[in-house]
Each structure stands twice: as structure tokens, then as C-alpha cells.
Amino acid sequence: MHATESLALRPATRLSQPVVIGHRGAPAYRPEHTTASFELAIDLGAELIEPDIVVSRDGVLVVRHESELSLSTDVARHAEFATRRTTKVMDGKRCTGWFAEDFTFAELRTLRAVERMPELRPLNTAYDGRFGILTLGEVIDLARSRSTDARPIRVLAELKHPGWSTAHGLPMAELVAEELRRLDATDEAGTVMLQSFEAAALRELRLQFGEHGPQLVQLIDEFARGDRMVTRAGLREISTYAQGIAPSKDRILREAAAGSSPLVTEAHRAALTVFCWTLRAENAFLAQNLQRGGSPADPGDALGEARQLLDLGVDGLITDSPDQAVQARAALLTALV
């Protein structure tokens, strides 16, 4: 499939060209989910910034990759929270650490962000301790403050484990709906889009907001339980409650053949936008033929991977390195001229 054909297949009601989505900001260069990371993502050309949402004990929506806090904050260094360390079962797996739902928002505000992957991104550790934990509202305010008529900035917020959270007395979808209403961010053309791996949460949000609420994106995991979603029937079912899907880049590339992606093609036929996650520049996250140098932390040919995905017709790249995705998109659009 040529680039012109892939753009032509994009749903007419969707974005006119592929978008760059800063995954938790620009974590290739700054610790994820920090003000510096989100601001840098925008400076590097991202049109959307993507925070993950978890819930504090008192119902505040905060941005962290998971509710477990030890990898991305300095919680382990706080002696006053030593007794909060516990083991929980999430997605069938035992996890030991400190969990956001066991802390009030005021307590979470005392923590500082640290680099989550220091072995791969050692330069980012220079920023450890400089930034605190943000709320969803603060990320939305940041996006609005950086938006212009010529270049609007949007938020693609992911609800993390909303079913698990709800089962523990913190109804995430309901709390998100309340917060967006408070912020006057509930319309389909507004600042916020919402995504989740859990269809039930997206369906609840569609009921909360109706047909003209925020655009919803169904995340699709890499495992067998996501396979039905990528069938023609599954995609049509998703289109009844969401406007887009977000499969992994590996799923798209694995299923692509002869320059086309059946998944992208079928999604577009169902009038669904296709975002893909997550592009990362280090060898550790790239296919062998794209790796360069001898270390997992060495940068590989991430630009080539982004170009391949854009050539397959994806509508958005969720990336840790927004600058590289912007460069790949510019090359694609230049080729169309």
C-alpha cells in the first residue's frame, strides 16, 4: 500500500493527517508523567499528551503508569510510609509495593517522581526528585495553556485498571466523568479523549456522556483475549461505543504483509481511528533488524519503525520520542507532495 492510499483509507470523520501522541509526555528525555515531560512533548511537536490515570484513597485522579508507586516515585525512601508496603493481586499477578489507593492525595503530593527505567535512560536520573505527582485536572490545564487556534493540544487519558479500582470502592469511570464535567471537558471536539483496555469502562463512559461526549479509544492488548476485538465483527462492535482503537505496534507489524495492514484496513472500514502503542527508540524495544549498536540502551532505527507504521496507515503514533515521530510524519507528508 502506498502512503497516498493509506491516507485515503483514513475515516473521513477523523483527523486529516496522522497525529503524534506523547506517551506520558516525552519520557525518552524526562521522567514520565512530570510537567517537564509533558511540556517537552508539546515542544517537540506532539498534538496529544497521554497520561495514565489512577485513583488516590480519597478519590483524586492522579497520573501514574500503575497504582504501584515504587518504580516511578521515591516512596521507598519515605520512612513514614514504610508500613504501607503490601502485596496485592492485580490482573492475576502478585505485586508488592506501595499503591496509590492506599494514600490520600495530600500524602501523594509529598512524593517526588524518579526515572522508571534508569538502566535504559540513565541521563533522565538527573531529574529525579525535581517534580511531584500531577492530577488529571492539572494535565488538562497544561494542555489548554499550551493550545492555540493554529495548534490545539489535546489529552488522551488512559484509565488504568478501572474495574479493579471500582471493585475496591473507587469507581474510576464515574470519577473521570465527574472531573471532566467540572472542567467543562465533555464534548467530542474538546481537549480530552479517553482510552482503556477495559471495554466495560468505555461503555460506561459512553452512557455517562451520551453520543456527543469525549472521543473514546479501545486499547487492545497483545494477548489472546484481545484477538476477538481485531476481527471484523469485533471492530464493528467497538464502533458502537468508541471512535478508535489502539493496538500495539507489534501486533500491527506482525500482521502486516505486502505493504498493508489488514487490521488498519478493517478498522478504517468500521470508521475507527487507529492509534498504536508504544514507540521507543532504544534497542530493547525494537525488532532485531532495527537495532543498532551492542547495548539494549543504544538508540536503534526508531525513525524507520515509525515510517513503516505510518506507511501502513495508522492515524497516530503513541511514542516516548515525539520528535522522531514528527520527523517520520514530515517525511511521509513530503512524499505525498
Residue 14 makes CB contacts below 8 A (sequence gap 6+) with 243, 244, 273, 315
Find the helix or strand (DSSP H, E) in which 106 lies.
helix 105-108
Per-residue pLDDT of the chain (337 residues; tens, 9 = 90+): 444 444 444 444 456 789 999 999 999 999 999 999 999 999 999 999 999 999 999 999 999 999 999 999 999 999 999 999 999 988 788 999 999 999 999 999 999 999 999 999 999 999 999 999 999 999 999 999 999 999 999 999 999 999 999 999 999 999 999 999 999 999 888 899 999 999 999 999 999 998 889 999 999 998 877 899 999 999 999 999 999 999 999 999 998 887 899 999 999 999 999 999 999 999 999 999 999 998 999 999 999 999 999 999 999 999 999 999 999 999 988 877 6
DSSP conformation letters of 310-328: HHTT-SEEEES-HHHHHHH
What's the CA gap between 262 and 257, in Å, rounded? 8
Q: Helices 136-146 and 35-43 meet at what angle, rounded to 10?
A: 30
User: CA-CA distances (angstroms) from residue 330 to 25, 94, 336?
Assistant: 20, 44, 10
Half-sphere exposure in the Cβ direction for 82 (13 Å, CA): 3
What's the CA gap between 51 and 156, in Å, rounded? 7
Residue 331 makes CB contacts below 8 A (sequence gap 6+) with 307
3-class DSSP state for residue 40?
Answer: helix
Q: Are 56 and 63 in contact (CB under 8 A)?
A: no
Quick: pLDDT tens for 119-177. Answer: 999 999 999 999 999 999 999 999 999 999 999 999 999 999 999 999 999 999 999 99
Q: Are 96 and 86 in contact (CB under 8 A)?
A: yes
Give the global pTM: 0.94
- From the number of C-beta atoms within 10 Å of its C-beta (0-12, 13-18, 19+), residue 328 rates as buried
The CATH fold of domain 3-67+132-336: TIM Barrel (3.20.20)
Handedness of CA 71, 36, 281, 279 (dihedral sign): positive
User: CA-CA distances (angstroms) from residue 184 to 56, 178, 189?
Assistant: 22, 10, 12
3-class DSSP state for residue 19?
Answer: strand
What's the CA gap between 72 and 219, in Å, rounded? 23
What's the CA gap between 304 and 310, in Å, rounded? 10
Q: Which three cell numbers stand for residue 267?
A: 478498522
